Homo-oligomer: A and B are copies of this chain.
């Protein structure tokens, strides 16, 4: 089973990488771009019998820092 785990900074947490990208895009002449937020994505191939709870635990223990990050698990078709 293929999973996609998207880890993004919580709203309100400062995102210097996103800000840098925003400024760089403006510098390259792309106007009208705002609110850039950078995150990470992990694509995993897990055994079909992996429970939702186990996936959640993987995220909390290793993939995301839940103090400042949110994560979202998407099951791939």
Contact = CB atoms under 8 A, between A and B. Distances in A.
Interface of A: 6, 8, 18, 21, 24-25, 28, 30-47, 49-50, 54, 57-58, 61-63
A35 B39 contact: no
Copies in the complex: 2
Given A24-B62, A25-B62, A30 B43 contact: no
A30 B42 CA distance: 16
Given A25-B58, A28-B61, A63-B21, A34 B39 contact: no
A45 B39 contact: no
Contacts of A58: 25, 28, 30, 33
Contact of A35 (B28, B45, B61): B45
